[in-house]
Amino acid sequence: MSTIDHDQEPAFARGIAGPLGKLTEDLKTKVDEATDKVFRQHCALSGTDASTLLRDFVYLTCYGKTWRAMAAEKLLHEEERIGALRKLAGPFEGPEFAQRGGHH
Q: What is the pLDDT of residues 69-87, one digit of tens each?
A: 888 888 888 777 787 777 7
Per domain, the residue ranges of the chain are 6-90
Q: What is the pLDDT of residues 28-47, one digit of tens each?
A: 999 999 999 999 999 999 99
Nearest to 3 by CA among 41, 46, 32, 42: 32
Nearest to 69 by CA among 55, 87, 81: 55
What radius of gyration do the chain's Cα atoms show? 21
Q: Say how far apart CA 67 and CA 54 lie, in whole Å.
A: 10
Band of residue 94 on the pLDDT scale cut at 50, 70, 90: low
Contact 33, 21 (CB under 8 A): no
